Homo-oligomer: A and B are copies of this chain.
Amino acid sequence: MISTKIKAKLASGSAIRKMFEEGNRLKKLYGDDNVFDFSIGNPDLEPPKEVAETLKELANNPTPGMHGYMSNSGYESTRAAIAAQRSAQSGLSIDAGAVCMTVGAASAMNDVLHSLLDDGDEVIVLAPFFMEYINYIENHNGKVVIVKTGDDFMPDFGAIKAAITSKTKAIIINSPNNPSGVIYSEEQLSKLNELLKAQDHVIQVISDEPYIDLVYDGLTVPSVLKYIDNVVICFSWSKSLSLPGERIGYTLVSPKNEDYEDLTGAIVLSNRILGSVNAPAIWQKVVEKALNAKVDVANYEHRRNLLYSNIVDAGFEAVKPNGALYIFMKTPDGLTDVEFQEVCAKYNLLLVPGASFKREGYMRLAFCVSEKTITGSRQAFFKIAEELNIAHKAEL
C-alpha cells in the first residue's frame, strides 16, 4: 500500500545496508582494530570550542522566547551575519533577504529543487556525485541527467553543453566534491557561467557546499558568487562545525540571480510546506556566534595524507583530493569494482564501489576514520597489491 516509487527505492537501498551489515559482521569476527572500514563518511571531529561555549551560554542564560517561532526564513540577525560573511568573500553586496535557514543542506537542496522544478524538468549532475541528488531531484518530479566529468573529475564543458535541452532547469555542482575531493578553479566556474549564459533560457546553478571549509594544502575554494550569476548556494554546518546530527544550514540566492525575487520567495515557501520551516532556533544562534570557527582541518589533512600514502605507496592510483573527506581511488585495471571490493574484503578492507556515485572504475574511501584504522590498513593495501601483482611504489 505504500507508494510505488518509495517501494522501488526501499528495495534498491538494500545494497548499502548489506555493506553496513557486512562491516559489522567482520568487526564482530575479527575485532574493531582488525577491520579497516572506509565505507562511511561520518565527520568524527568534535565541534570547535566556540560551539560548546555558545551552547553553554544559551543554556545557562535562557532568554524568554528563545525556543519560539521566528520568521519563516530564520532569525534576521543570523541571516544578516551570513550575508555579511558571503559579501566579504565575494565582493558582492548581499543582504539578509538572500538567505533562508534550513535543517541542513539536504533540506536546502529539497527546498531549491521544489522551488524550481516543474514535472519533467531536467537537472544535470556531474558524475561522480553524491547519490542522494537523485532522490532530491525525483522527489520533485525532476529528471536526472548525468554528465561524466574528465579523468581529473573536472567539468567536461563539451559534455555539459551537449546535455542541455529546453527542459534543463538546473545543474548541481559540488566543490570540494564528494566523492572525488576535487575543487573547481575560478576559471572553471567562469567557463561554466559563460556556457550557461549563452543558452536561450536561465539555467540555475545549485552549488552544494557542505565541504567548503574542509580544504587542504593551503588552498581556498573560489566563491561561486564571484564567478556565476544564476546561482543558489546550499550550505550546511555538518562538516565545518561537525554538527551533522543537529541539522543546520542555509540557502543563499546570489543578488546577481535573474530570478532573485521569485526564487528567494519560493525557497522560503518551499521550506515551510516541505515541513522544514524554522531551522532549529538554538543552532541558528550558535552558528551566528561561531560563524568564523572551523573544526580542526589539519587533523583531517593529516589523515588524508596517511591514507593517500597507503594507497599510492602500495601501488594503486588516485587523484589526490584537495578537500572533503574522501579519496576516490582507481580500481586496478582488469577488475570490476565489485571484484576489487571482494579482494579487499578478504583483507578486511571495506570501501564503496563507484556505482554508488554513478562512476564505475573507482572506489570511495572515507578518511574520517580513526588514525589507528588508517595506519593499521597500510599492510592490507600492500597485501592486496601483492595478490593483484601490482608493484609497490614505496616500502611498507
A44 at the B interface (CB under 8 A):
yes
Residue-wise interface mask of A (46-60) relative to B, using a CB-CB cutoff of 8 A (1 in contact, 0 not): 110001100110111
User: What's the Cα separation between A244 and B280 when bound, in Å?
Assistant: 9
Partner of A1 from the list B4, B201, B281 (CB cut-off 8 Å) is: B201
Partner of A243 from the list B13, B52, B67, B70 (CB cut-off 8 Å) is: B67
Q: Are B275 and A104 in contact (CB under 8 A)?
A: yes
Partner of A68 from the list B60, B245, B276 (CB cut-off 8 Å) is: B245
Residue-wise interface mask of A (1-28) relative to B, using a CB-CB cutoff of 8 A (1 in contact, 0 not): 1111111011001000000000000000
Look across to chain B and name the residue whose beta carbon is closest to the beta carbon of A75: B245
Partner of A7 from the list B62, B103, B266 (CB cut-off 8 Å) is: B266
Given known contacts A9-B269, A59-B55, A245-B280, is B67 in contact with A136 (CB within 8 Å)? no
Residues of B within 8 A of A278 (CB): 104, 244-247
Partner of A10 from the list B110, B269, B274, B279 (CB cut-off 8 Å) is: B269
How far is the CB of A74 from the nearest CB of chain B, in Å? 10
Residue-wise interface mask of A (100-119) relative to B, using a CB-CB cutoff of 8 A (1 in contact, 0 not): 00111011111100111110
Residues of B within 8 A of A314 (CB): none
Given known contacts A141-B141, A280-B246, is B68 in contact with A3 (CB within 8 Å)? no
A242 at the B interface (CB under 8 A):
yes
A132 at the B interface (CB under 8 A):
yes
Stretch at the interface among A187-195, A256-264, A331-339: A256-264
User: What's the Cα separation between A9 and B266 when bound, in Å?
Assistant: 9
Interface residues of A in 224-274 (CB under 8 A from B): 242-247, 258-259, 262-263, 265-266, 269-270, 272-274
Q: Are B103 and A269 in contact (CB under 8 A)?
A: no
A370 at the B interface (CB under 8 A):
no
Partner of A116 from the list B1, B52, B55, B281 (CB cut-off 8 Å) is: B1
Partner of A273 from the list B121, B132, B266 (CB cut-off 8 Å) is: B132
User: What's the Cα separation between A71 and B202 when bound, in Å?
Assistant: 39
Given known contacts A110-B274, A245-B278, A275-B108, is B60 in contact with A42 (CB within 8 Å)? no
Q: Are A107 and B275 in contact (CB under 8 A)?
A: yes
Q: Are A67 and B47 in contact (CB under 8 A)?
A: yes
Interface residues of A in 29-57 (CB under 8 A from B): 42-44, 46-47, 51-52, 55-56
A283 at the B interface (CB under 8 A):
yes
Residues of B within 8 A of A44 (CB): 68
A-B contact list, 26 entries, CB within 8 Å: A1-B116, A1-B263, A2-B115, A3-B140, A6-B269, A6-B270, A7-B262, A9-B273, A10-B266, A43-B69, A51-B67, A59-B59, A67-B244, A67-B245, A67-B246, A68-B242, A68-B244, A70-B245, A106-B276, A106-B277, A114-B139, A135-B273, A136-B275, A247-B280, A274-B274, A274-B275
Q: Which 7 A-B pairs have the closest CB atoms?
A: A245-B281, A107-B275, A106-B275, A59-B59, A135-B273, A110-B275, A56-B59
* A contacts, CB < 8 Å to B: 1-7, 9-10, 13, 42-44, 46-47, 51-52, 55-56, 58-60, 62, 64-70, 102-104, 106-111, 114-118, 121, 132, 135-136, 139-141, 169, 201-202, 204, 242-247, 258-259, 262-263, 265-266, 269-270, 272-283
New A-B contacts (12) at CB < 8 Å, excluding given A1-B116, A42-B68: A1-B259, A2-B263, A3-B266, A6-B266, A9-B269, A10-B262, A10-B269, A67-B242, A67-B246, A275-B276, A280-B280, A280-B283
